Amino acid sequence: MPIEVHRLAHGLGAEVLGADLSRLEPATLEAIHAAWMQHLVLVFPGQQLTNLEFAAFSERFGALEVLGSYQGLDEYVDPACRGLMTVTNREIANEPSRTRAVGRKWHADRSFVPQAPIGTFLYCRELPDVGGDTMFANQYLAYETLSEGLRAALDPLWAVHDVLGRHDSLVKALSPEQVAIKRRMDPPTAQPVVRVHEVTGRRALYVSEAVTTRFVDMTEDESRPLLRFLFQHSVQPTFTYRHRWHVDDVVMWDNRCAMHLALADFDPRQIRTMLRTSVVGPVTGHFVDAAAGAAREAANELPAA
């Protein structure tokens, strides 16, 4: 039985019906990939998957990104699959979850490393009574609706992506020692301001309010006005889709051309839990400080690229 694909918003997003993600024929997988390239965000409602079945589905699109030890996230990683982690506001090991407030600013996942994931997958396990939504924004449209002159100016530029540049509550809660570890393990990375998608060939903006701090070879003061404009322009309502989660939803999105935002639109005393995987792609960036990058690769038990 062929899948059904229904658009969810003008900017991006589609719902896929008729697919059991625990067992996909090659033709169905090919149809899902084609829909992903077209719609950027795909929603699969009502999936009944084990943790490992969810991870196996994700792995059909590429090698899983392995997170954990050097980020201090071992308690959140499934020991049976180190590419599978839990994102929750539930206490972990009798401490507030380190993932309880992730994604509160617009971003593309882990653009602050040279080999950022091309795709991210979430599987909804628990939800508050209301809220817990996620928003997505089409960065093809963000680029294509700029003036010809500004597109030409942006095409050759690179920008600095810094995990400590986001100034969110999780970063502010870090001790000086933890900040030093994060700086050593994830030094700032330069990424192209305009990313060319290796499958579709389309150009997308690749900057975010969460981690982009300046343009390469410019100061933060010089960069701020244009970056502020790009941050605001890139998330116009016509470019966006707001996903209202249901338990057992699986959602996948393309980090090369879509940003997302986890909304704090729910009672934090209620539990929101997702399983998360991501798949790695090509190296697109490089460490701003080559020496810091070399030290990171030497010290990091996980590959940086």
- Pull the structure tokens for residue 103: 């994604």
Residue position matching structure tokens 């599987």: 123
CB within 8 Å of 265: residues ≥ 6 apart: 130, 131, 132, 133
Residue with tokens 């009944």: 48
Altogether, the residues listed in the chain come to a count of: 305
**Strand runs labelled E in 63-153:** 77-78, 81-88, 117-126, 134-138
| pLDDT score recorded for residue 194 | 98
The CATH number given to 4-299 is: 3.60.130.10
Q: What is the arithmetic mean of pLDDT over 213-233? A: 98
Question: Cα(75)–Cα(90) distance, rounded to whole angstroms?
Answer: 12
pLDDT confidence tier of residue 29, bands split at 50, 70 and 90: very high
DSSP state of 237: G
pLDDT in tens, 65-85: 997 554 567 888 999 999 999
DSSP state of 267: -
242, containing H or E segment: strand 240-243
Q: How confident is the model at residue 304 (pLDDT cuts 50, 70, 90)?
A: very low
Q: Which of 144-153, 166-175, 285-294 has the highest mean pLDDT?
A: 144-153
Mean model confidence pLDDT for the chain = 92
Model pLDDT, residue 165: 79
Report the alpha-carbon angle 153-155-161, nearest 5: 105
pTM for the whole structure: 0.93
From the CB of residue 298, how many other CB atoms can be counted at a distance below 10 Å? 8
Quickly state the pLDDT bin for 298 (edges 50, 70, 90).
confident
**Confidence at residue 170, expressed as pLDDT on a 0 to 100 scale:** 63
As a whole number of angstroms, the distance between CA 97 and CA 75 comes to 10
Q: Which residues pair with 5 in a beta bridge?
A: 16
Per DSSP, the chain holds a count of helices (H) and strands (E) of: 8, 17
State the pairing for strand pair 189-192/81-88.
unpaired
Residues noted as catalytic: 107, 109, 260, 276
